[in-house]
């Protein structure tokens, strides 16, 4: 793991931040209805963090191994345009995304929790993981959140990036009560 100063410097350059879903935006639980429909629980605070990061000018993306309609709906709700589901080899999708939006690897970040995410985490300029990630992800992440996946880890990382870019106070100001 890098020093706080190194992590901050890496996060300050981000133009793109991509996220895994299961274990990052969710707690890794998979729920299925009797009809076979997959259901996931998303954290509303994580969603607000994503919204603040996007409003601050960072492009967001999802690269996930599973394919679920509820992910499509949640990302549409959040206004996240770049959603890649059912991806077995995330690194090639990551490279395609970089080319598509014209971003260099050092200007992109990725947050993942399991070994399927390690190649992308190693390739990008800033990598993050939730506190309950696989041990190898912990070893290779620039920043490990203090919170677990699906329970505020994404919000923490979003606010870290905003702070690194000098945009956190402005992002929060919109929600603070006016002073008398």
pLDDT over threshold 90, residue 110: yes
* Predicted confidence (pLDDT) per residue in 7-17, tens digit: 999 999 999 99
pLDDT over threshold 80, residue 143: yes
d(CA 116, CA 108): 18
Mean pLDDT of the chain: 96
How many C-beta atoms lie closer than 10 Å to residue 94's C-beta?
Answer: 24
Domains of the chain and CATH, by start: 1-117 (3.40.50.1000)
Q: Per-residue confidence at 3, pLDDT binned at 50, 70, 90?
A: confident
pLDDT at position 1, please?
60
* Predicted confidence (pLDDT) per residue in 18-41, tens digit: 999 999 999 999 999 999 999 999
d(CA 122, CA 142): 10
pLDDT over threshold 70, residue 90: yes
């Amino acid at each position: 793991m890098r020093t706080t100063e190194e992590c901050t410097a890496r996060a300050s350059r981000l133009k793109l931040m991509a996220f895994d879903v299961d274990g990052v935006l969710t707690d890794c639980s998979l729920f299925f209805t009797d009809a076979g429909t997959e259901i996931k629980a998303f954290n509303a605070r994580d969603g607000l963090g994503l919204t603040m990061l996007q409003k601050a000018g960072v492009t967001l993306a999802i690269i996930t191994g599973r394919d679920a309609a509820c992910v499509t709906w949640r990302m549409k709700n959040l206004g996240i345009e770049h959603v890649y589901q059912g991806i077995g080899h995330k690194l090639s999708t990551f490279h395609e995304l970089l080319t598509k939006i014209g971003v260099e690897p050092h200007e992109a970040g990725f947050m993942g929790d399991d070994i399927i995410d390690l190649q992308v985490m190693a390739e990008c300029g800033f990598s993050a993981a939730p506190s309950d990630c696989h041990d190898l992800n912990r070893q290779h992440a620039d920043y490990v959140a203090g919170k677990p996946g699906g329970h505020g880890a994404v919000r923490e990382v979003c606010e870290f990036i905003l702070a690194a870019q000098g945009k956190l106070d402005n992002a929060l100001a919109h929600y603070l009560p006016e002073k008398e």
